[in-house]
Structure 1
Amino acid sequence: MPPTSRGITRRSLMAGGAALGLAVALNSPVRAGIRSTGSRPTPLTDVFRLGVASGEPDSRGVVLWTRLAMDPVSPDGLGGMPNRQVPVHWEVAKDERFKKIVRRGVEDARPEEAHSVHVELDGLDSGAEYFYRFKVEKELSPAGRTLTAPAPGTRKRDLHLSFTSCADYQKGWFTPYRRMAEDHPDLIAFLGDYIYEYGDYKYPVRDQAGGECFDLAGYRLRHAQHKADLDLQMAHAIAPWTVVFDDHDVDNAWAGDVPEQPDPPFPGRRAAAFQAFWENMPMRRSQRPKGPQMSLYHTLRWGSLANMHMLDTRQYRDLYACTGKSGTVGDDCTDRFDQNRTILGADQEAWLSGRLRDSQAVWDLLGQQVFFMQMDWTNGPAHGYSNEGWDGYVASRNRVTAAIADNRRNGVVLTGDVHAHWAGEVKRDYADPESPSVAVELVSTSVTSEGDGADAAANTQTLLTENPHVKFFNGRRGYVRTVLSEQEMKVDFRSLGYVSEPYAPAYTSGSFAIEPGNPTLNPA
């Protein structure tokens, strides 16, 4: 049976956050300075400053995560922890008060993994709500809420899915995470740029620790400072996550094996970023990186209601069309139509085509990073296309579009990256206004990137007119909230008026409904 409770309340979430201590209440971590001395280890205190999380649920289990840190902004990226293994006890319960314990165990938090813990559970009930927590010595972590996916064949259980992207610590407060948590979703999808690798800005909203990330210590430190944010901790504690990276999780505008600018050897930088990403996310062991390689793309199944195909558009892509650098190209850039060019790589394209062919779900969602629809960004008769998005890989987009259409899937592309809300319809032929829609694309704005933003830009109406398949724009920060059922997919674009100060309220800037068999956007 589906859980009758919506789980952890706002009050209990706030109480859990308070338990982390006032040291992180305003995202200004105090250095604990506690180290192991002599032959007798110093007792560990205040080790759960980075919160708890869960992720990648299936019908029988989920991943539970925490990372121990007494000093989140320790320059070595190791969170002020001693150089030894620390036993971490965990337990899972059916109830919020942990009176009905169903599983418990112990995992070692190892210094070589930045004292992160990944508990990969199996054998749980399908479609069930659980609560979990960790313990180190005498200290209990805050509790988290998680869910397992419904059993295969189940379509009656709705999916409350929220998604967002692009959280730049220096650009604002993470209030969108808090507002998303208050909605009590079943699943959160994060679509890239969980951190930004940049050094300090001239006029930041918040000061970040460390300079530009180049090595493992730098990436670990950046992740730790993000995780110490209480708004982000609320979002991780309320529901399981599924995640993919984008460019800023490693290096701005990287493509395959090529960085944006000459670096220290890029394979080493990429390996460090991947290792820190895995350490700080509730990911499965099968996703653990091997040096500069990481198996990221995968399918998360929500019974037979929805398949969530999480894609990797960075690791296997060809270099940017025509210029070799990311940017805007015009009609003279014929390289973007090359039939051999791919943004996914041949293996991932074949995998996705097979998943769409074999799918029996009502909905097939493609969680990915960059604009999928054709988008002319230039006003007037001239055309300008981003060669970083799928417009730079037209043949690759055509193959995915054909796989959705030919297999008669109810396809919805979920996108991040562009720091604004957009919604539109995917066409087989964008040059033909009468071309039928094949799928819908929903683009989430950022958590903080680009600052407060505005509801509309000066050229918004021009862009919408020149791209008639695009139906909606909003330039504030926020997230997208959806509810999927057998009958429809309800979509709310949630926006915040500001992130330059904390605790902005969220409002719905646009609402749509999508019906199975009708890949169009209907205002709700």
Structure 2
Amino acid sequence: MSLLRRALLQRAALAALATQVPRWAWSQERLRHDPFALGVASGDPTPSGVVLWTRLVPAAHGAPLAPLTVHWELADDAGFRRIVQRGQAPALPEWGHSVHVELQGLAPSRWYHYRFQCGDAVSATGRTRTAPAPQDLPARLRMVFASCQRWEHGHYAAWRHAVDDAPDLVLFLGDYIYEYASPRDATGLARVHALRAASTLADYRDRYALHKSDPLLQAAHAACPWSVTWDDHEVQNDYAGVRGRDGDGGGDTPAFPTMRQAGWQAFYENMPLRAASLARGVDALQVYRSLSWGRLAHIHLLDTRQFRDWQACRKEGTSGAGGVRPADCATWSAPQRTLLGAAQEQWLDARLAENPSENAPHWSVIAQQTLFSPRHYPSGVRSTDSWDGYPAARERLLQSLQRHPQRNTVFLGGDIHQNYVCNVLAEPDRAHAAVLASEFCGTSITSRSGATQAKVDAIARHNPHVLLARCDLRGYGLADVTPTRWTTTLRVLDDPLRIDSGASSLARFVVEDGHPGPQRA
């Protein structure tokens, strides 16, 4: 590990220790602007703690910020009359002046309020909570799961409705930002921006600042804790593992590993992640992890980008992965190909093996980026960027679930900008195979699907395990989880081009305890 990287990691870990930094150790200056313009957030709750996040911004056209001291408070009440904990943390230029405070010693299953202060500036107030104690079986968990929020394709009205639904937790499943420049032709777009296509750390920081400037997204972060993972657009469309579309980094674009590391560092800086995610370095950010909600649910958040093999039969230099006919692509069925990487596959298998017992969680949730179930297109083509492009990897996960039977397994996904509800079959290519689990793949917050409903209807007719497929609506998924029932409501917008768009429920599906497979309610 280089001396520079070691120093950065040490300072990031120090910044997460909320009470260890003396006030005199960091310069402090009077700020003449609102440094908290990107809002506040919290994430990854445990029974005794949670991560608090903010990121300071300089004044427009002002000088870069020096290291600053940020004070924080956690209280039982919104008026901060009953302070539970308080402390201070450094906001360092090396980390984009982001602040990650890892709280400990809190009571389980409790809501709290928090805020930050820097000089005379005070942030908005956020609301967060801890998870239930490991032995507890809570009566309910309400989760929002969402993904894909391209700036130009819509306003973030979906987040206003998500806040109104009062979730305990948000699972964000990737494509928080999009790396593209705005199209020159703005016809049909909700809004545009003036940023160039992202390739440097400064570019990615600017892109997160753009998205986080949206007040509806800020309100959603302030409403409850989030647990986040990434997909491709946090770096580059359809990148795979260590490779982008420029292959070895040649051509007119920056070397891809440098670009990827910049995107990953900006992701850490802008998300409520723990310093432990930096254990292997910024160039190997640890994103996959598990969260427990007492004995009600264990949530396994996966990373399907960092460790995947290059898409089957994808040509070098192409801007995106396409589809293949398996008979024309020997690589597609190669048994060693992986979407998760060997280490993550082993980790997930071990996590699933922990569950079978009298104290097993009622719901085992596999939250990842894309559609897990197959889509057999009438044309015979298979997508190469989803699990369909890695059939051996999907088979290994299905075998893991059969070796370690869970009480109930639910897959959550995003990426494809379409709502899919599926029976997850033990043998995915056999129409009448046993149903092993349930799947809800959510549509996008704003990003367009690029498909037509007629084509999606044809896919559904060709795939009996697909219970619902819609490509024309934007929104999010709402999951109400109890010990005996999982209910998913697909929430959709009237018009994503309107900031004041209304919302409605497209459909509601129920999974009963002990009976895999969604049923329309």
Same fold (TM over 0.5): yes
Deviation of 1:323 after TM superposition, in Å, equals 2.9
1:86 paired residue among 68, 72, 92: 68
Q: Give the residue type in structure 1 aligned to 2:461.
A: T
CA distance in 2, matches of 1:83, 1:179: 35
SS in 2 for 1:53: strand
Deviation of 1:461 after TM superposition, in Å, equals 2.5
2:434 paired residue among 433, 436, 439: 436
CA distance in 2, matches of 1:432, 1:110: 55
* 8 Å contact from structure 1 (residues 164, 447) kept in 2: yes
- Structure 2: state its 5+ residue gaps: 1-26
* 8 Å contact from structure 1 (residues 150, 157) kept in 2: no
* 8 Å contact from structure 1 (residues 307, 363) kept in 2: yes
Matched, 1:494 2:484: no
Deviation of 1:428 after TM superposition, in Å, equals 1.9
1:457-468 to 2 correspondences below 5 Å: 457-468=453-464
CA distance in 1, matches of 2:77, 2:63: 32
1:81 to 1:140, Cα distance in 2 relative to 1, 3 A: farther
SS in 2 for 1:508: strand
What do the CA deviations read for 1:274-299 (whole angstroms, capped 9, x no partner)?
Answer: 11100000000011372421111000
1:162-181 to 2 correspondences below 5 Å: 162-181=144-163
Aligned to 1:46: 34
Aligned to 1:319: 310
2:285 paired residue among 270, 294, 306: 294
Query: Larger deviation: 470-479 or 484-493?
Result: 470-479
CA distance in 2, matches of 1:331, 1:82: 53
1:40 to 1:327, Cα distance in 2 relative to 1, 3 A: closer
* 8 Å contact from structure 1 (residues 365, 411) kept in 2: yes
1:487 to 1:81, Cα distance in 2 relative to 1, 3 A: farther
Aligned to 1:62: 50
CA distance in 2, matches of 1:169, 1:407: 41
Aligned to 2:180: 198
SS in 1 for 2:203: helix
Deviation of 1:450 after TM superposition, in Å, equals 1.1
Aligned to 1:216: 201
* 8 Å contact from structure 1 (residues 69, 81) kept in 2: no
2:424 paired residue among 422, 426, 441: 426
* 8 Å contact from structure 1 (residues 48, 70) kept in 2: no
Deviation of 1:155 after TM superposition, in Å, equals 1.3
SS in 2 for 1:476: coil
Moved over 4 A (4+): 39-42
Aligned to 1:337: 333
Aligned to 2:20: none
1:58-207 to 2 correspondences below 5 Å: 58-71=46-59, 80=62, 82-201=64-183, 202-203=185-186, 204-207=189-192
What do the CA deviations read for 1:327-356 (whole angstroms, capped 9, x no partner)?
Answer: 111131342222111100000000000000
Q: Give the residue type in structure 2 aligned to 1:393.
A: Y
Deviation of 1:365 after TM superposition, in Å, equals 0.7
Matched residue pairs, number? 475
Aligned to 1:308: 299
Matched, 1:235 2:220: yes
Aligned to 2:509: 512
Matched, 1:390 2:387: yes
- Structure 1: state its 5+ residue gaps: 1-38, 75-79
CA distance in 2, matches of 1:67, 1:347: 32
SS in 2 for 1:170: coil
SS in 2 for 1:88: strand
* 8 Å contact from structure 1 (residues 328, 386) kept in 2: yes
CA distance in 1, matches of 2:162, 2:136: 26
CA distance in 1, matches of 2:63, 2:77: 32
Deviation of 1:165 after TM superposition, in Å, equals 0.3
Matched, 1:354 2:350: yes
Q: TM-score, normalised by structure 2?
A: 0.88
Matched, 1:368 2:368: yes
* 8 Å contact from structure 2 (residues 58, 64) kept in 1: no
* 8 Å contact from structure 1 (residues 336, 391) kept in 2: no
CA distance in 2, matches of 1:512, 1:154: 26
CA distance in 1, matches of 2:312, 2:79: 56
CA distance in 2, matches of 1:108, 1:486: 42
- For the aligned residues, what is the CA RMSD? 1.8
* 8 Å contact from structure 1 (residues 255, 314) kept in 2: yes
Deviation of 1:406 after TM superposition, in Å, equals 2.6
Aligned to 1:416: 414
Deviation of 1:111 after TM superposition, in Å, equals 1.4
Aligned to 1:477: 474
Deviation of 1:71 after TM superposition, in Å, equals 4.5
